[in-house]
Chains A and B, each alone.
Chain A
Amino acid sequence: MTSLLLAVAVGSLFASGTYLIMRRGQIKLILGLALLSHGVNLLLFGSGRLTEGRPPIFLDKTGYAETIELNLPADPLPQALILTAIVISFGITAFVIVLVNRRHTVTQTDYVHGEFVPLLREGDPFDFSESTEIDQHDWLAYEVDEVYDNDELLTGSPSFPPSEQDESTAMEEDQYKWP
């Protein structure tokens, strides 16, 4: 009975996770990924067989070999696996949330409510809403802004976002020293 319940739970978690991933909304995407990872965790839990009322250690050491049928311990391994999987999926979910938030910010689109909510703070280094000439080669964008200034070594972070500088002086020489 318990294992049937477990199977149904795993199945419904997978089904709803898959359904949510295929929706357009980004929050639903995150929720779908979370549900899928829960489904897998539950499946791993079930893979160790459900042993009720027994600790995952040898109960009776003295007569272990004789009483193995009575003392068969619960399998401790699935719990270790699940713990690892939970930690990993936690980290990844956090990353996905940040990524979705960043995407929401930089592309200024939100499929969920259809309206743009400005999330940029003043002077956000990732604010590229003004720069129009960067077409698909976005990764070059930083290069333009780069200020190679050796004096600020270790004294702290450079001005961030980088200050405006004349292109001609920026291109004059490369002060970046190679190891």
Chain B
Amino acid sequence: MAMSANLLAVPVAAPLLTAALILLFARWGGRTLIRHQIALTTLALCINLVVAVLLFRAAAGQGQRFVLQLGDWSAPFGITVYGDGLSTTLLLLTALVALAVYPFAVATIDYHRARMGFHPLYLFLLMGVNGAFLAGDLFNLYVFFEVLLMASFVLLTIGAQPAQTNSGIRYVVLNLLASTVFLVAAGIAYGTLGTLNFAQIAERLPLASPAVRTVFAGLLLVGFGSKAAIFPLFFWLPASYHTPPPAVTALFGGLLTKVGVYTLFRSFTLFFPELLLSWQPTLLTIAGATMLVGALGALAQPGIRRVLSFHIISHVGFMLMGLAVALSGNSLAVGFGLGAAIIYLCHHMIIKTALIMAGGAVELYMGSDRLASIGGLVSRQPLLAFLFFMAAISLAGVPPFSGFVSKLSLLQITLDTRHWVVAGVSVFASLLTMMNMMRLWRESFWGDYSRPSRIPSRILQSRARQQLMLTPVALLVLLSLALGILGEPAFRLSMQVAQQALDRQAYIEAVSPSSQVSALQIHSHTFEVETVSTTRP
């Protein structure tokens, strides 16, 4: 079934229009209105999910490439929206995560924060993330990065509690610096290659001087890497993720760093595949350090959400490791590493969101997430304890779950390419993850029941709220289980996606950027331009 490329507009347009509609009436912040906001937001999230499923089936399942040239302006002159297997996989996961976190958010976000515009901001964040996955040129990628950053700034600091504002400043400044570096990269690309379109950059970059390529790749690595929280650039993440309401942390943990990871995947496979080989030692070192620092840092943290946010960093290291070995592989197929990284990404987005939500539920029940002062929740909340345990062992990589499949395939490619050190580091980091997860579970669920806070939790009073909180966690854990049991077809699919992403020529042909003025289709009575090149000498 051939799908129209116009569908690519929906993941951006649906959240944007719904949020705009909500904002129109946001002045009267009554409770009925907030219920309408919730209904509208749910509707937008469902539409987004349906469209993402349709796109994913066509692009990842059948290898289709969607290209939407906005306003029918051909490639380098207009705005190109591009969706292939990799982008639609991420679109689908984003839609799933956003829809899963939303009931949790509805149950836990208080009225004041809802009045301050939590629901439209949620949609704006979704719009920015979707747009970043679909962008077909550097500048629109920058714009969507800023959209999602702006929404995340406000979501992070919504309520303006002291800890939130403190962490907000770090988050804002470090992310702005990353955006600045990325914009410099865009400027350099335009100055040297004369284009911002991905396909045209990929076309022209091999002709550029090595110095340009190195500077461009380095700037992109720093810019995207600090969004993805790789080793020396991750400091914004553990400084901020534990301060907002848990729903926001779950959304951020599921989506934000993955945008950075996606852009790294996209830029390195499309622009400089040769650097994946020549920079491999550097990338692997960064990946190993990221894994190790994340896991070791988590070990030293006193609270549930702090531990979990350090683990996000550790897992980004695993994905980067998959990217670094994407083009090598002795007995395995080329692209095996990227396929493994993609399935790891899926596993991570699903289970990390579930785990942060479960941790947030613990925090809500206890009034605190400080491990030293809580304990014994298993007797009061056996279901939550069960779900937390399942999510934790999935994260650590225990067999029936998706964590096992993804970690095994990553380890396999690393051993196959004889990177013994980084393979050892990844096994060690997995062991540390296991240890950390057991520590979290033991400290919060076992032992004597102790609940330090005097703050009464209203969530405990409502069965509806509890169901809204725990159902998405259960569904995500089930999804992770399904991904683990159906490991083989899932891996075959992600290999297809990886092969498609590595096929640069097909990307360029699909977008088919034109360097001719005639592409502008200027029809005038006085002149007819046919073959005048606009590329600067």
Please give the residue numbers on chain A whose beta carbons come within 8 Å of chain B beta carbons, in ascending order.
21, 26, 29, 33, 36-37, 40, 43-44, 46-49, 61-62, 64-65, 68, 75, 77-78, 81, 84-85, 88, 91-92, 95-96, 99-100, 102-103, 106-107, 125-126, 128, 133-146, 148, 150, 152-158, 160, 162, 167, 170-174, 176-179
Contacts and interface: CB of A to CB of B under 8 A. Distances in A.
A84 B172 contact: no
A95 B150 contact: yes
Given A81-B190, A136-B242, 10 more contacts: A26-B169, A44-B186, A47-B190, A96-B169, A138-B162, A141-B161, A142-B113, A154-B32, A178-B464, A179-B39
B176 A179 contact: no
A177 to B, nearest CB: 7
Contacts of B478: none
A179 B532 contact: no
B176 A47 contact: no
B223 to A, nearest CB: 12
The binding surface of chain B is classed by DSSP as helix
A40 B183 contact: yes
Contacts of A152: 30-31
Contacts of A103: 162, 165-166, 168-169
Contacts of B532: 64-65, 68
Contacts of B457: 140, 143
Given A88-B146, A103-B169, A153-B30, A126 B160 contact: yes
B218 interface: no
Q: How large is the interface on B (under 10, 10 to 19, 20 to 34, 35 or more residues)?
A: 35 or more
Contact of B160 (A26, A106, A135): A106
Contacts, number: 192
B96 to A, nearest CB: 21
Given A65-B532, A179-B42, A136 B190 contact: no
Nearest to A63: B527
A44 B183 contact: yes
Nearest to A133: B454
Contacts of B454: 133
Contacts of A126: 160
Given A138-B164, A138-B243, A170-B458, A176 B169 contact: no
Given A29-B173, A64-B532, A143 B31 contact: no
B376 interface: no
B455 to A, nearest CB: 5
B444 interface: no
Contacts of B139: 81, 84
A144 B303 CA distance: 22
Contacts of A150: 31
Nearest to A95: B153
A174 B458 contact: yes
18 contacts: A36-B176, A44-B187, A44-B190, A49-B536, A85-B183, A95-B150, A103-B165, A128-B162, A134-B161, A136-B242, A137-B455, A140-B453, A152-B30, A152-B31, A154-B32, A155-B30, A179-B36, A179-B42
A36 B177 CA distance: 8
B243 A40 contact: no
A171 B29 contact: no
Nearest to B302: A136
Contacts of B112: 125, 142, 145-146, 160, 162
Nearest to B172: A96
Interface stretch (B2-10, B361-369, B387-395): B361-369
B369 A174 contact: no
Contacts of B28: 154, 156
Contacts of B187: 40, 43-44, 46-47
A174 B462 contact: yes
Contacts of A61: 524, 526-527
A61 B457 CA distance: 72
Contact of A137 (B30, B38, B142, B369): B369
B110 to A, nearest CB: 5
B143 interface: yes
Contacts of B162: 103, 106-107, 128, 138
B399 interface: no
A99 B168 contact: yes
Nearest to A46: B191
A137 B146 CA distance: 29
A176 to B, nearest CB: 7
B244 interface: yes
B455 A91 contact: no
B465 interface: yes
A37 B146 CA distance: 13
Contact of A146 (B111, B146, B168): B111
B456 A144 contact: yes
Contacts of B153: 92, 95, 99
A95 B172 contact: yes
B33 A179 contact: no
B159 interface: yes
Contacts of B160: 102, 106, 126
Contacts of A68: 532
A137 B172 contact: no
A107 B32 contact: no
B359 interface: no
